[in-house]
Amino acid sequence: MTESRTSSPVSRETGLEQGTASSSTALLAAIRTRLFEVVIFLWSLGFGAVIILWLQWWGTPRQVRVALRLWSTGFIRVADVVLGVRYRIENLPTPGGRPAIYVANHQSYWESIALTSLIPDVNVVSKRDAMRIPVFGWGLTHAPMIAVDRDRKGSNLRRIVPQARASLREGRSILIFPEGTRVEPGNRRRYERGLKLLYASCDAPIVPIVHNAGQCWTKGFDLKRSGLIVMRFLKPIPAGRDPERTFVQLEQLINEEKDKLLR
């Protein structure tokens, strides 16, 4: 006997409803993403003009850093309001403490911008390519931040260490992403060895940071997803410990903690 199977009206209607809901969600995400880009463009025009005027006439690096921090704060607030990309900060160190080396996992450019807002007067170890980004890149260049060339690892280390030590003496903390590039949520990448040398050469504690920004903030101009980004500051690691052992433990700690944030 041949059994005949047909879809019931209820199942067909349910499928149509699910397809319509999915299309509506995608359309809303597209509208929100494009609107966010327009608002940030307008927000950036004003700050770009301010930064250019300060640099050309009476600006100082500290003033540029203040402008950059204001721009970054506006960026994450607009993302919250327009895109529905909410965020929760856990265990943020109190301002005015000893400068430190902040070490974070890297999933998107959201956390790069957010951390320049959250950590006062921070010096970011950033790819030189990022310094070509309008407004934000200008701020990185003239703050100034520490530039890294992807293809010149040896010369990078010779420049980064003395610049980082000088920055810490001035009271400016360092922010570094030791994975070296964006790593999608759930994946891992071996840390660059320069972090070990940085810790060994600088008398400063390490503050590990983990987050799940990549679950909301997709690459480039892709549609952004509404949701909650959790950024968690972990217990500081004191200065002066064994660099090799600290490097291994830190990589393991951040990988384990960032995986816990996956929903």
Tell me, yes or no, whether 6 lies in a domain. Answer: no
Residue 8 in tokens: 């019931």
> Global pTM?
0.86
The whole-number pLDDT of residue 147 equals 85
Tell me, yes or no, whether 5 lies in a domain. Answer: no
Q: Is the alpha carbon torsion for 118, 122, 126, 130 positive or negative?
A: positive
The whole-number pLDDT of residue 2 equals 44
Nearest one of 54, 89, 58, 56 to 70, comparing CA atoms: 54
pLDDT, tens digit (0-9, with 9 covering 90-100), for 44-102: 888 877 777 776 667 788 888 888 899 999 999 999 999 999 999 999 987 767 899 99
Tokens 């320049």 belong to: 116
Total number of domains constituting the chain: 1
| Residue 94 CA neighbour count, 13 Å, CB half | 2
Tell me, yes or no, whether 2 lies in a domain. Answer: no
The whole-number pLDDT of residue 5 equals 43
pLDDT in tens, the chain (263 residues): 444 444 455 455 555 445 555 677 778 888 999 999 999 999 988 887 777 777 666 778 888 888 889 999 999 999 999 999 999 999 998 776 789 999 999 999 899 999 999 998 899 998 877 777 766 677 778 788 888 876 666 667 778 899 999 999 999 999 999 998 899 999 999 998 889 999 999 999 999 999 999 999 988 778 899 999 999 999 999 999 999 999 999 999 999 999 999 86
Residue 232 in tokens: 């968690």
Tell me, yes or no, whether 4 lies in a domain. Answer: no
| Residue 143 CA neighbour count, 13 Å, CB half | 28
Rounded Cα gap, residues 121 and 32, in angstroms: 31
The whole-number pLDDT of residue 74 equals 94
Tell me, yes or no, whether 3 lies in a domain. Answer: no
Tell me, yes or no, whether 1 lies in a domain. Answer: no
Residue 189 structural domain: 13-260
Tell me, yes or no, whether 100 lies in a domain. Answer: yes
CATH code of residue 66: 3.40.1130
Rounded Cα gap, residues 101 and 3, in angstroms: 69
Is residue 158 packed enough to be buried (19+ CB in 10 Å), middle (13-18) or exposed (0-12)?
Answer: exposed
The whole-number pLDDT of residue 26 equals 79
Tell me, yes or no, whether 8 lies in a domain. Answer: no
Cβ neighbours of residue 87 under 8 Å, at least 6 residues apart? 76, 80, 114, 228, 229, 230, 231
Rounded Cα gap, residues 257 and 208, in angstroms: 10
